[in-house]
Structure 1
Amino acid sequence: MMISVETALECIHKHATRLQASEVIATNDALGRTLSQDIMAPLSLPPFKQSIMDGYALCVGQSQTYKVIGEIKTGDTATQVLQPGEALRVFTGAQLPDTANAVVMQEHVTANGNTIDLKDSPKEGQHIRNIGEQIAEGTRSLTKGETLNPSAVGVLKSFGLKTISVYKQPKVSVIVTGNELVSVGTPLQPGQIYESNSQVMVSALQQKGIATEAVITVKDNLKDTEDAIKQALDTSDIVLISGGISVGDYDFVGTALHNLGVHQVFHKVLQKPGKPLYFGTTDSKYVFALPGNPAATLTCLYVYVYALIDSITGNQTVGLTRIQFPISEDFENPFGRALFLKAKLKGAEVEILNQQNSAMLLSFARADALVYIPSDCKSVKKGHLVTTVLMPSGV
């Protein structure tokens, strides 16, 4: 019996057990990883009083004319003491002495030898970044369970941290089934196609910061299928299988999983593409059998496999980001199933792309989002808000 998308996601979350193991890695390798402990700021950012502009640091006095007593370049230590009516030539990012209480932009002064005339009266504190303005020493800067984006890695480097503690990533193996599949570089014979699903899955896992343990291609027979799955289960936390999960005479994945003692949590979801999706567990390991059509494979990986990975690695945010966007045209859903539609954000709208067939990967290459249409939604009018799943970009 088919289950709903929402029920399938609930089942995955219910069966997901967090990986407790953590490891210490180089901060340079931290992009996309999940923190296993809070990061307390070991120093304030900025760590010193800092000029935001190129210009002049002042100790504000009564006159609009200031005597320039020196210069502080970026990287210099500020040792000067300013008296009211005195100034220092400074540059963006330079340290300021405690006695400086304003910075004026160089464009707003007239220089006359060792004096400057201000065009406007300065306000105390202007163009100064104070110690700890971004974060104060000893306060929590990043939280356990956060996934590190480029900005977060930048914060860690700003603290001078060479290493950090993160949750270990699950080990994932990929199995691709099909007699018709041949490797790139092999001349195609009639009835054959080049195998691409493994690279689609490996690349999508890389976007999640996961290196694949193994990629195994098997022909459509029961023994080879069982052997491949057993090998993957022995070495991996998650096994992804592409193809062979439908009900054809040469679809052996379901039988092989049963024979190996994998507990079926669900098989078949009321959705398009990806109806034959299978999810099972055994000995704290997880198996997804994904449809063989490439676009269906990728859709299920983004929606369901990502959700499992987030759950077991302690990520605060489970699954891809979902936002509401107005749809650019009327849309009809005649299928009675939930739809994941390849789409592209255009300005303040989301546009459904052509070529939605589950075998068509090219339109996926042009998409940056999936529009989710629930199974009970028969039509959507132009301008109405639709759930838009933002796909990951880059690695």
Structure 2
Amino acid sequence: MISVATARQLVAENTDRMAPQVILLKNALGKMLAGDIRAEADVPAFPQSAMDGYAFSFDDWHKGGALKISGEMAAGAGKEQFVVKGEAIRIFTGAPVPSSVNTVVMQEKTRMVADGLLIEDEQLTRAANIRPAGSEIKKGELALKAGARLTPAAIGFLAGIGISQVVVYPDPVITIIITGDELQEPGEALKYGQVYESNSYTLSAALANVGLSKVQVVKVKDNPQDLTSAMKRALEGSDLVLLTGGVSVGDYDFVIKAAEDCKVQTIFHKIKQRPGKPLFFGKKEPAILFGLPGNPSSVLTCFYMYVLSALELLTQRPLSLKTLQVPLINSYTKQHTLTHFLKGWYNGAGVSILDAQESYRLSSFAQANCLVELDIDARLYGEGEKVVIHLL
């Protein structure tokens, strides 16, 4: 068996980022840019009115004198108007500002009189309320750097400067293989010896929670030939394969043998931790494979501690759980010299270790907002002692 630290290091060393792909900007939410983006033109491409009002030449304006209204410019106007000395035009937000004028006054600071437009803005300055050409970004300037995350604002910004496609690290294709003759679908009646299958629901939800939806679920009976066939297909068509169950040493635990038959390189099998000690990690280029223990709590713990780290490397997205050091509210005694991951509740000041920590029970996980990591060697943890937590 290896330590938790060694397992984390081996996952990092054996997981490569996905090959970049060109995709439509509208499909890029949450993904990471794989290359710099530079503006292809000035934005805006022309001087633009920042508000509804009137455009005129500042030098023609004499406080107290009226300006004649000679026309209007709306957003999207396809033809420039020429404004002569002593005149103004009605203009609207986003409209091009004609080259013959240089100032816009907001409509609330004006008043119409018999001989034209009076401007009543003592603070008005030359070039007021005009967005200069290139004021958002100039042609050739860096818009977003490689490694930037495409948030809603970033996507809107890129769309606003005319970008329709981006080069990103794509979503991995993920196959979840569920093994176990005893498993029954939720909603169906249980027969003697059956339990409801929850791991595919847990993993699919955990993946969706980090924005990954290219997921297929395959359910396999406890049959070595069927499992080997399913694993072979998954490795050929996936970037990441997750198996649950069958990674221990029982008579019906076939995952390790199936991995060998599929020519999967074993990186590690078994970690000095609880829950999730039998965790398997291997690779067959270009795919990586995790064999997760079958117990529900073990599955989710291993997902958060190892699979999420691999997904972060594959996608280059910040997916790993935030880690803090906080004091224990209640004391705890470990029964084994293994690293423990325990369901906990962090109240902002300290953490309580919850009841129902057994690996087959998800009830405490459903209530937890963190995992408490207890070191491999220490056995007794007193109230107030600092511990590491991973926020869920």
TM bucket by the smaller chain?
A: 0.7 to 0.9
Does residue 235 (structure 1) correspond to residue 233 (structure 2)? The answer is no
Match of 1:76, SS state, is: coil
* Match in the other structure for 2:72: 71
Segments of 5+ residues of structure 1 without an aligned counterpart are none
Amino acid at match of 2:94: G
- RMSD over aligned Cα, in angstroms? 4.2
Match of 1:30 among 28, 31, 34: 28
Structure-2 change in CA distance of 1:359 and 1:86 (3 Å): farther
1:330-372, Cα deviation, whole Å (9 max, x unpaired)? 365644735475768x9x87987967745565776677x6466
Amino acid at match of 1:49: P
Does residue 171 (structure 1) correspond to residue 169 (structure 2)? The answer is no
* Match in the other structure for 1:375: 375
* Match in the other structure for 1:42: 40
Identity, in percent, stands at: 35
* Match in the other structure for 1:51: 49
Does residue 13 (structure 1) correspond to residue 12 (structure 2)? The answer is yes
Match of 1:153 among 155, 159, 168: 155
Residues 200-279 of structure 1: pairs in structure 2 closer than 5 A: 200-206=202-208, 207-212=210-215, 214-269=216-271, 273-279=275-281
Match of 2:67, SS state, is: strand
Deviates more, 1:370-379 or 1:25-34: 370-379
What is the rounded CA distance, in whole Å, between the counterparts of 1:323 and 1:352 in structure 2?
16
Structure-2 change in CA distance of 1:372 and 1:135 (3 Å): farther
2:343, 2:354 within 8 Å by CA — same for their partners in 1?
Answer: no
Match of 1:309, SS state, is: helix
1:295, 1:364 within 8 Å by CA — same for their partners in 2?
Answer: yes
* Match in the other structure for 2:135: 133
Give, in angstroms, the shift of residue 14 of structure 1. Answer: 0.9
Give, in angstroms, the shift of residue 181 of structure 1. Answer: 1.0
Amino acid at match of 2:51: M
Segments of 5+ residues of structure 2 without an aligned counterpart are none
Amino acid at match of 1:173: T
Give, in angstroms, the shift of residue 374 of structure 1. Answer: 5.9
Amino acid at match of 2:14: H
Give, in angstroms, the shift of residue 275 of structure 1. Answer: 4.2
Match of 1:311 among 310, 313, 324: 313
Amino acid at match of 2:9: E
What is the rounded CA distance, in whole Å, between the counterparts of 1:208 and 1:386 in structure 2?
26
Amino acid at match of 2:97: L
The TM-score with structure 2 as length reference comes to 0.76
2:41, 2:139 within 8 Å by CA — same for their partners in 1?
Answer: yes
Match of 2:193 among 187, 191, 194: 191
Structure-2 change in CA distance of 1:64 and 1:372 (3 Å): farther
Match of 1:133, SS state, is: coil
Aligned residues: 379
What is the rounded CA distance, in whole Å, between the counterparts of 1:355 and 1:73 in structure 2?
66
2:343, 2:365 within 8 Å by CA — same for their partners in 1?
Answer: no
* Structure label with greater radius of gyration: 2
1:201-231, Cα deviation, whole Å (9 max, x unpaired)? 234444444412x422123344433333233
* Match in the other structure for 1:95: 96
Amino acid at match of 2:12: H
Amino acid at match of 2:222: D
Match of 1:287, SS state, is: strand
What is the rounded CA distance, in whole Å, between the counterparts of 1:379 and 1:75 in structure 2?
70
What is the rounded CA distance, in whole Å, between the counterparts of 1:49 and 1:93 in structure 2?
9
Deviates more, 1:59-68 or 1:286-295: 59-68
What is the rounded CA distance, in whole Å, between the counterparts of 1:68 and 1:363 in structure 2?
75
What is the rounded CA distance, in whole Å, between the counterparts of 2:99 and 2:367 in structure 1?
54
2:329, 2:351 within 8 Å by CA — same for their partners in 1?
Answer: no
